[in-house]
Amino acid sequence: MRFKYKFLFFNESTLEEVWSVRLSRLSVFTYAFIFAFILITLTSVIIILTPIRNYLPGYLDIEVRKDILQNALRADSLEEMIAAQSNYIRNLSDILSGNIRMDSVQVGDTVSFITSNYDIPRSDRESAYIQKFEEEEKYNLTALNPDPPQTDIFFYRPLNGIISSAFDEDRGHFGTDLTSALKENVIATLDGTVIYTGFDPKYGNVISLQHKNDFISIYKHNDIVLKEIGDRVVAGEAIAIVGNTGELSTGPHLHFELWHRGAPVNPEEYIAF
């Protein structure tokens, strides 16, 4: 490896030695390794410290995606404000041009509330029925049913995959199965806190997140769990790697469950898979 070789460069016409260098196999390997290391380091620095990383698949910043969502919401609000302002200007123009009489316009809020103040006495039969109903429903637990889950929350898709098995509460399948290739990232569907990580013989590596508005998301059959109990995560952040763990797994996929106040809900009603 350390035997020296001499490389000579001659002028073809005069056979004069132009340049020479003495190299060994070890020095060639060393220079090649140093050149590759410098090239990889420069490439990594350029990707990390410059916006070019946003053009590479999978490197889009979470903050950028959140900004895109917020800008879309702002644009929608501005459209509503512009529409309301246009209606106001059009009505004002009609009033000034005489198309609408001024005395026919009520000044006030565009939304009117009807308040009734009827003083109708109750009959004895009606009062007795109301009292009986109140006594019967006083200890009825059905009156304490939780409010339905909100549908105006933006949920991230936990995995870029294909639905292989849908939600079916009747047969005890409380989630949605998504198939994909191995080593794909499983991401958090909402901002939240990790409340459970562990291994289950049937469901393999499992991770659960507690979100606001009483939502809990559960991710099963993972190959690797990337977070620990108590970690705070943001929507779109990788929390696990897709796997094929557990007795009930028949291939690389994610079993995703969404719960609200102790009851399972159909993830397809909140997430566009």
**pTM exceeds 0.85 for this model:** no
pLDDT of residue 107: 47
Backbone angles phi and psi of 23, in degrees to 5: -135, 155
Distance (Å, whole) CA 225 – CA 245: 12
pLDDT digits (tens, 9 = 90+) for 114-147: 444 445 666 777 777 777 777 766 555 444 445 5
pLDDT digits (tens, 9 = 90+) for 179-194: 988 888 999 999 999 9
Nearest to 175 by CA among 239, 246, 255, 263: 255
Lowest mean pLDDT among 28-32, 109-113, 191-195: 109-113
- 226 CB neighbour count, 10 Å cutoff: 17
pLDDT of residue 62: 61
Distance (Å, whole) CA 170 – CA 115: 45
Distance (Å, whole) CA 255 – CA 240: 12
Report helix, strand and coil shares of the chain as percent, to nearest 5. 35, 30, 35
Nearest to 153 by CA among 212, 79, 88: 212
